[in-house]
Amino acid sequence: GENVEQHPSTLSVQEGDSAVIKCTYSDSASNYFPWYKQELGKRPQLIIDIRSNVGEKKDQRIAVTLNKTAKHFSLHITETQPEDSAVYFCAATANNAGNMLTFGGGTRLMVKP
Amino acid sequence: GAVVSQHPSWVICKSGTSVKIECRSLDFQATTMFWYRQFPKQSLMLMATSNEGSKATYEQGVEKDKFLINHASLTLSTLTVTSAHPEDSSFYICSAYTPTAGNQPQHFGDGTRLSIL
């Protein structure tokens, strides 16, 4: 089955700096890669996703890149703000519609004011 | 649109009690519902996948007789933790899937924090 590794497990940045979180996956058939933000005690919220037919996607301060050959994808947050502090999870699935997600271990991002 | 309601949000009960958690898709029909468990500072771990009208598929290591899943309709799935013990204390989250609801494939409930004394 799919295995998703996520690094780093914790990340502390100064407000205004950029943050990068990286994930690798094992199943070459995976073709959908969402990123979730989870605040303490709350549901995961989809913040951005990418499908295997594109290499990069951007939404304001958030971007995701995908390297299918190397089987890794990354989340980039620019101009970080204190409200970006949360746990971020990457995920992957071999079903293009997002069925059966396998999650990475999570990254606790702390943005210091 | 694509709202998933999960109840209760918080349960505290004595060891040996059975607890039922409901997951409802409010404005769409979910072909599949997923149940996850999340321990503190850990990731979401898939427990089981349920399709309406059929038996749930459990992940390796998840006891099907302890975690009973019923998916009686396209809008409701329930997870019953039978004879709960302190080690079952966790955050349980459901999600509902349909290819036509919204632009994200899985829609998560708010989660249920289960504390077994």
CB A94 within 8 A of CB A30: yes
Is the predicted pLDDT of residue B99 greater than 80, yes or no? Answer: no
* Contact (CB<8Å) B105/A41: no
Give A47 to chain B, closest Cα distance, Å.
10
pLDDT for position A63:
98
pLDDT tens-digit series, residues B30-44: 888 999 999 999 999
Q: What is the pLDDT of residues A7-42, one digit of tens each?
A: 999 999 999 999 999 999 999 989 889 999 999 989
B66-77: pLDDT as tens digits: 999 998 888 999
pLDDT cut 70: percent of chain A above it? 96
User: DSSP string covering A8-72, please?
Assistant: -SEEEEETTS-EEEEEEES-TT--EEEEEEE-TTS--EEEEEEETT-SEEEETTEEEEEETTTTE
Q: Could B91 and A41 be called an inter-chain contact, meaning their C-beta atoms sit closer than 8 Å? A: yes
